[in-house]
Structure 1
Amino acid sequence: MSSTLKSYVENLSDDDQILCNLLERIIRQNLTMADFKIWHAHPVWFINGNPIVGYSKQKAGIRLMFWSGADFEEEKLKMGTGKFKDASIFYNNSNEIDEQELQRWLEKSKNIQWDYKNLVKRKGKLEKINLDKENENNTGT
């Protein structure tokens, strides 16, 4: 665990620390290529500079948010209220986490992405990333 994430988690209740440590472990195991940083005061994982998943302490519990989760077609993930494609779930105890379900969502987060990284450059217009094309460009085919 990075020192910045450790600092974030240490400020939570014991139950929330356990929950966040479990989320962090599952995320790291399933998004090995992702970069981590504290972004807007919350832990967030990025792929190629694009935010993928993160969590934050809110009144309703620990909110696990997927930036492109609205397109995952997952009943338990509740869509955000704005113009973005985020979806999230709230947890209040670590035993509420279904690890297989979370692994499925994390797998989808690798393959279904909206381009938040270039949102400002596009003057607020959100576009879906064509990962097939992106993968072709990265492999030189």
Structure 2
Amino acid sequence: MNAAIQDYNNLQNSSDKEICDLLATIINENLPDAENKIWHAHPVWFLDGNPIVGYSKLKNCVRLLFWSGQSFDEEKLVNEGSFKASEIRYTSPELINKEDLKRWLKKATEIQWDYKNIVKRKGILERLK
């Protein structure tokens, strides 16, 4: 695991650390070619410089965010923001359904909106895949 991401996880309380460690492990296993780093203070995975998935600690949960998730057609993922992102929130590691997460990660590689160039396009998203 990326040392900066492990440092981020280690800063969480024990339950949230378990959630973060499990998410990072599953994401790394299923996105072996993705670059991962701390981006805007949170762990994020990128394909070709485009953000795909990341997580962040909120007040009472850990939020897993898929940048192109609104296009996944998955009922457990909730729309987030005014672009194409969706999220799911976890309050314990037992709530993480590994099969769902693997399916979403597969879709994240197959369905991508171009967030890398959103500023250059003045807030307009174009579909990459």
Tell me the TM-score normalized by structure 2.
0.97
**2-structure distance, mates of 1:60, 1:107:** 28
Q: How much identity, in percent, do the aligned residues show?
A: 51
Higher RCO (C-alpha under 8 Å, 6+ residues apart)? 2
Unpaired stretches in structure 1, ≥5 consecutive residues:
132-141
Give 2:4's aligned amino acid: T
Q: Which residue of 1 aligns with 2:58?
A: 58
Q: Which residue of 1 aligns with 2:123?
A: 124
Unpaired stretches in structure 2, ≥5 consecutive residues:
none
TM-fit CA distance, 1:81: 3.1
Q: Which residue of 2 aligns with 1:79?
A: 79
Runs of 4+ in 1 over 4 A off after TM superposition: none
Give 1:98's aligned amino acid: N
**2-structure distance, mates of 1:127, 1:74:** 21
SS in 2 for 1:52: strand
TM-fit CA distance, 1:59: 1.9
Measured on the aligned residues, the alpha-carbon RMSD in Å equals 0.8
Tell me the TM-score normalized by structure 1.
0.89
**2-structure distance, mates of 1:62, 1:114:** 24
**2-structure distance, mates of 1:81, 1:54:** 15
TM-fit CA distance, 1:60: 3.7
Q: What pairs up with 1:1-141 in 2 under 5 angstroms?
A: 1-82=1-82, 84-129=83-128, 131=129
**2-structure distance, mates of 1:19, 1:91:** 7
Q: Which has the larger radius of gyration?
A: 1
Give 2:90's aligned amino acid: Y
How many residue pairs get aligned? The number is 129
